[in-house]
Amino acid sequence: MQQGAKAAGTPPADIDAYIAGFDGEVKARLEAMRDTIRKAAPAAVEAMAYGMPTFKLKRNLVHFAAAKKHIGFYPAPSGVAAFEKELAGYVTSKGAIQFPLEEKLPLTLVAKIVKFRVKEEAEKAKG
Question: Domains along the chain?
Answer: 4-126 (3.90.1150.200)
Strands 59-66 and 91-93: unpaired
**CA pair distance 116, 114, nearest whole angstrom:** 5
At residue 102, the pLDDT reads 96
At residue 45, the pLDDT reads 98
- Consecutive 10-residue runs of the chain (127 residues): their mean pLDDT? 52 96 97 99 97 96 98 98 98 98 98 98 85
At residue 11, the pLDDT reads 86
Angular region, 69: left φ>0, alpha ψ -120 to 50, beta rest: alpha
At residue 8, the pLDDT reads 54
